[in-house]
Chain A
């Protein structure tokens, strides 16, 4: 009997590369994620707002840091006392700011982990159903990661615009146009606008990292358990 089974398994395996026969085309993944994001708009906003806030804070810090450095430079060139202008002083201040930014990004990322865990739990039944239709575990992970990545990028774009924009306006009000024209590159090397642009994929990457654990957990559940879910 074992021989019959073995032969049949081989037959099954031969009959046209099983692995290649189960597919989820990228375009379909993207359209599914897009639907998920827009139909569950409330949940999406909550998930994205974590990154939005973190990146907004990062952007505002980048802008203020660059502009302040520029103002300091201007003052140094004119030879006036730094203390009289009340500019934030030196390296200690910068390190403190860096630490603040990292903490806020960490909080944002953890917020996303929580948000994605909730999203995954709400969709256990959906996940179980998809597995019954033949979805591989990797499809489920893929769908959640793409969704998280998209939300992260969207939140980050908004974060850069709002956080960076508001701080920019504030600095213009404070130091005028020449003030920001003198804005120094971050850490002496990265021009401000590039740094702000990089904040966008940073948001995407953090989102994807945050979604890894929830997505993995979702994919690993056996269908019977997933389908028993109340949601």
Chain B
């Protein structure tokens, strides 16, 4: 009886409520004589299927936090759990596996491989995952169609606009059906309208595929689609707000100066007509 139970535990992976958990996360950068404390004890729990935005001014530590969660850098202290697995315990192979299969990354500068076409870029993670050529191409085309770039699959990044490159990046992030998408300033290099399109695309994917989206950004347009917004300042989480508690008025202008003290001030009252 006990054996059968163990069998089952190995066969069916348990689904945990919190897909990402951080515990007392600290990161100190040593530059010559000075020490820069980028993160000073961060506790963050993210549920499956949530859309979380990490917001804060430049230098607040949101990119560092992003790097910690994505396993791109090691914390000085504290732990990051992905599906209750301590990332620090993973060896190089397991980490690569995680990045290949479980996490999809999106960057401010798109980071497409310049010598490859859009389709080749999208299928690259599938190649690492051992997917056969045929299957990979098929799936790649499907993903490109999902993001609306089916007809530009043979174009290289230099032949695509910023918004299109970011769409390819999103398609690439979804290549191996990851559980998490990590987006670092996805709209940073995009104009207002394209930025909105990308945000809407991300939200759509979040809802349709139940993929958790964690986005580090200072684009206030992201607030509207987030389930929770985490305000970070000076390496610490200032507060966490649920979407329903934030009032968002039409006519948001981009700005990164003051992180508002209360949710009512979240939006400067610029009544610009946006479409």
The residue in A19, A39, A129, A135 that gathers the most chain B C-beta atoms within 10 A of its C-beta is A129
Distance between A9 CB and nearest chain B CB, rounded to angstroms: 6
With an 8 A cutoff between CB atoms, is A73 at the interface?
A: no
Task: List, sorted by A's number, 22 A–B pairs whose CB atoms are closer than 8 Å.
Answer: A5-B81, A8-B83, A8-B84, A9-B85, A9-B89, A9-B90, A11-B9, A11-B13, A12-B85, A18-B93, A18-B94, A19-B93, A21-B130, A25-B127, A125-B109, A125-B111, A129-B107, A134-B125, A136-B96, A223-B72, A223-B73, A227-B111
Q: Which 10 A-B pairs have the closest CB atoms?
A: A134-B100, A224-B73, A224-B72, A223-B72, A129-B111, A134-B128, A39-B115, A35-B115, A133-B125, A132-B105
In the complex, chain A residues whose CB is within 8 Å of the CB of B129: 21-23, 134
- When the two chains form the complex, which single residue of B67, B73, B85, B125 contacts A8, counting CB atoms closer than 8 Å? B85
Q: Is B99 an interface residue (CB 8 A)?
A: yes
* A134 B96 Cβ-Cβ under 8 A: yes
Q: Residue on B with the closest CB to A22?
A: B96
CB–CB B114/A22 < 8 A: no
Across the interface, which residues of A come within 8 angstroms of B94, CB to CB? 12-13, 18
**CB-contact partner of B99 in A7, A19, A32, A133, under 8 A:** A133
Contacts of B112 in A (CB 8 A): 129
Residues of B within 8 A of A125 (CB): 109, 111
Q: How far is the CA of A132 from the CA of B66 in the complex (A)?
A: 13
The reply to whether the CB of B172 lies closer than 8 angstroms to some CB of chain A is yes
Closest Cβ of chain A: how far from B191's Cβ, in Å? Answer: 23
Q: With a CB–CB cut-off of 8 A, which chain A residues contact B67? A: 224
Query: How many residues on chain A are close to B (CB under 8 Å)?
Result: 41
In Å, the complex CA distance between A58 and B94 comes to 47
Contacts A125-B111, A133-B125, A134-B129 given; does A222 touch B100 at CB 8 Å: no
Task: State in angstroms the CA–CA spacing of A128 and B7 once bound together.
Answer: 38
The answer to whether B101 and A132 have CB atoms under 8 Å apart is: no
User: C-beta contact mask, B62-81 vs A, less than 8 Å → 1, else 0?
Assistant: 00000100101110000001
Complex Cα gap A59–B101 (Å): 50
Is B116 positioned at the interface, with any CB of A under 8 Å from its CB? yes
Is B89 a contact of A133 with CB atoms below 8 Å? no
Contact with B along A218-231 (1 / 0, CB 8 A): 00001111010000
Binary contact readout B254-273 vs A (1 if CB under 8 angstroms, 0 otherwise): 00000000000000000000
- Measured CB to CB, the nearest residue on chain B to A222 is B73
A11 to B92 CA separation, bound complex (whole angstroms): 17
Q: Decide yes or no: A5 and B128 within 8 Å by CB, A125-B111, A136-B92 being known contacts.
A: no
Assuming A5-B84, A11-B10, A131-B99, is B73 touching A39 (CB within 8 A)?
Answer: no
Q: How many residues of B contact A (CB 8 A)?
A: 41
Given contacts A133-B100, A136-B96, contact A24 B128 (CB under 8 A): yes
Bound-state CA distance A209–B258 (Å) is: 54
Given contacts A134-B101, A137-B92, could you give 8 more A-B pairs where the C-beta distance is less than 8 Å? A4-B84, A9-B85, A11-B13, A21-B130, A24-B128, A132-B99, A133-B172, A136-B96
**Chain B minimum-CB-distance residue to A38:** B115
Shortest Cβ distance from residue A138 to the other chain B in the assembled complex, whole angstroms: 9
- Please tell me if the beta carbons of B113 and A28 are within 8 angstroms of each other in the complex: no
A14 at the interface (CB under 8 A from B): yes
* Complex Cα spacing A126 to B157, Å: 13
Within the assembled complex, what's the spacing in Å between the Cα atoms of A32 and B115? Answer: 8
Distance in angstroms between the alpha carbons of A25 and B74 in the assembled complex: 29
Q: In this assembly, does B197 line the interface, its C-beta being within 8 Å of a C-beta of chain A? A: no
A36 at the B interface (CB under 8 A): yes
